[in-house]
Structure 1
Amino acid sequence: MASPSFFFFHALLMVAALATTASSQHLSPTFYDKICPKALPIIKKVVEDAMQKERRMGASLLRLHFHDCFVNGCDGSILLDDTVNIDSEKKANANINSARGFTVVDRIKSVVDKACGGPVVSCADILAVAARDSVVALGGPTWKVQLGRRDSTTASRTDANKDLPSPTMDLPQLIQNFNKHGLNSRDLVALSGGHTLGFAKCSSFKNRTYNETNINTNFAMSLRKSCPVSGGDNNLSPLDQTPARFDIRYFQDLVGKKGLLHSDQVLFNGGRGSTDGIVKRYSLDARAFSYDFAKSMVKMGNIKPLTGNKGQIRKNCRRVNSEKLKMF
């Protein structure tokens, strides 16, 4: 007899596949099944190889997809380097000296294009699939990634600075930021749960460590050892206490006033905040978190995709094609 977990994750997959928006009507989880059936297994293999070398890479690839989608939609614009015509989003405040995983994406693109006989798989789709595969490799849920995005021919550092959430944002600002992208408060909390993976720099949480009151005293004291009042801005601390495992420790930390970033802890305010109930539930129910996270990842991945004749399939994820490619 199948285990309860089998039925749960089967249901999770079904809901995630249905959680699409009107803007994603041209996307499909089977988009590459005929034109390049090797594509998804190759992406998975390259992601897993990269994570064997560095477990932290999983969090970095997940973050790239998030930071791509929040700036003019999931179009691979975050991958574009500076040119005369491109003001790279890599230089935005939330990305500079912080966003990483670009060489892994380059590797995926090279191997996939070779296997597919040409540039068939978009860079935007690579980001979406790599994010899913990273989560799964670190013990998280899976979901059916909607596919068929095309790549942007532009990028905007200005829009990235405007649209990417900041670690200093308060709850109303975060809710407004997510609402702008068609995401609600539950999506905000579920997607913030991606901070169960990875690290943040001292500069992102220094003010919280020394000046905020909604923080566990012992936790603040421990952070000060690696994040001094002066200097040490690039020193890293884990976003939760199990940074290489997808679990509910992040939410348990919030309930215990041990959220690393200001924008993390504002999600839980001791029972008085509008998102407190969601955080409390996730802190007690791993299945509820996994279910909602998968559903919200599909929803986020459907933000303003380029489909049909819009955009292009880049030959190199870092550069716009010099000429239009034949559509596959």
Structure 2
Amino acid sequence: MALLPILFITALSLFLTPAQSQLSLDYYHNSCPRFNQIVQDTITNKQINSPTTAAASLRLFFHDCLVNGCDGSILISSTPFNSAERDADINRSLPGDAFDVVVRAKTALELACPNTVSCADILAVATRDLVTMVGGPYYNVLLGRKDGLVSKSSYVEGKLPRPTMSISQIIELFASNGFSIQETVALCGAHTIGFSHCKEFSSGIYNYSRYSQYDTQYNPRFAQALQKACSDYQKNPTLSVFNDIMTPNKFDNMYFQNLPKGLGLLRSDHGLYSDPRTKPFVETFAADQSKFFQAFGKAMEKLSVYKVNTGRKGEIRHRCDAFN
């Protein structure tokens, strides 16, 4: 084993819970030797054919981990007897590409090594590999998660950040999960890829106040362009705009560079730059992409082991959308 993974494991072991300490970088080395290659092949084909897959998977991973830990519970389909997480109001707009890439990888892995790899591990690694594929940082993902046995839409409310939240609410939400303000801002940098539906920011660009049609934190020309782009959003709720209009398909620090220019899309984006608690980190990440990548990678490593199931807690699902 290389020196870097050894140092990583040694440092990480200082704050891992007993469940998390059962994870390892080479968990499937013997039981499924082609695990990494199969996931890599799957995500490469999917991303090439559907360039929104990286952003979709990153969002799906957040929505999985922040609710009940990184246990793949977001992947479960509802039944007549249970309304699952994916059918909570905030999750209904999750793109199908992310679910599809996990299903494809699971199908290939079941052929190669049946009943061995969890859906939670697939989602964690696929997300990392997709982020790296579109230019983002490589970060370590410990493996050995088991899939959760519970998925209820009623558990979702209040666990996920909404675009209309104030920065204080977002800071409080992430702090309740053990994340610092710096880590919170770094994770918000995920908005450097992907898009948001017009309905999520329409209140900021139409009839904002008695004195202005739009929130004055927007660059005026940007606000006017958004008004045109979203003019039919009430008739067509699928209308959307890239979160980063400058380099929408590249994971970089342009998102942070956009914020001081009034080119943030959501209320929470504007808040990151206007709030004195978060502004210094926005400025640091805007000025130095390597610092953003380092902070994002460490925050993702931390998020990826949040409340994981290991050992006898959980299962290895035969299908990612249904309990065994």
**Cα deviations by residue, 1:58-85 (Å, 9 ceiling, x for unpaired):** 1101111111001110000000000244
Q: Which residue of 8, 16, 19 corresponds with 1:22?
A: 16
Cα offset, 1:86, TM superposition: 2.9
- Residue type matched to 2:243 in 1? L
TM-score (norm 2): 0.91
Mapped partners of 1:215, 1:173: distance in 2? 21
- Residue type matched to 1:292 in 2? A
The 5 Å alignment of 1:126-141 reads: 126-141=122-137
Cα offset, 1:206, TM superposition: 0.8
Aligned length: 309
Question: 2:251 matched to 1:246?
Answer: yes
Structure 2 residue aligned with 1:256: 261
Contact 2:60–2:94, Cα closer than 8 Å, also in 1: no
Mapped partners of 2:201, 2:35: distance in 1? 39
Mapped partners of 2:100, 2:70: distance in 1? 19
Unpaired runs of 5+ residues, structure 1, are 1-9, 322-328
Question: 2:221 matched to 1:218?
Answer: yes
- Residue type matched to 1:257 in 2? G
**Cα deviations by residue, 1:189-224 (Å, 9 ceiling, x for unpaired):** 111101101111101111122322222111111111
- CA-based RMSD: 1.9
SS of the counterpart of 1:94? Answer: helix
Mapped partners of 1:230, 1:308: distance in 2? 47
**Cα deviations by residue, 1:162-182 (Å, 9 ceiling, x for unpaired):** 201101010110011101111
Mapped partners of 2:58, 2:153: distance in 1? 20
Q: Which stretch shifts more, 227-236 or 187-196?
A: 227-236
- Residue type matched to 1:256 in 2? K
The 5 Å alignment of 1:79-98 reads: 79-98=75-94
Cα offset, 1:238, TM superposition: 0.3
Cα offset, 1:230, TM superposition: 6.2
SS of the counterpart of 1:220? Answer: helix
Question: 2:108 matched to 1:111?
Answer: yes
Mapped partners of 1:282, 1:26: distance in 2? 33
Mapped partners of 2:287, 2:109: distance in 1? 40
Q: Which stretch shifts more, 212-221 or 124-133?
A: 212-221
Structure 1 residue aligned with 2:212: none
Q: Percent identity?
A: 37
Contact 2:198–2:233, Cα closer than 8 Å, also in 1: no
Q: Which residue of 65, 70, 83 corresponds with 2:66?
A: 70
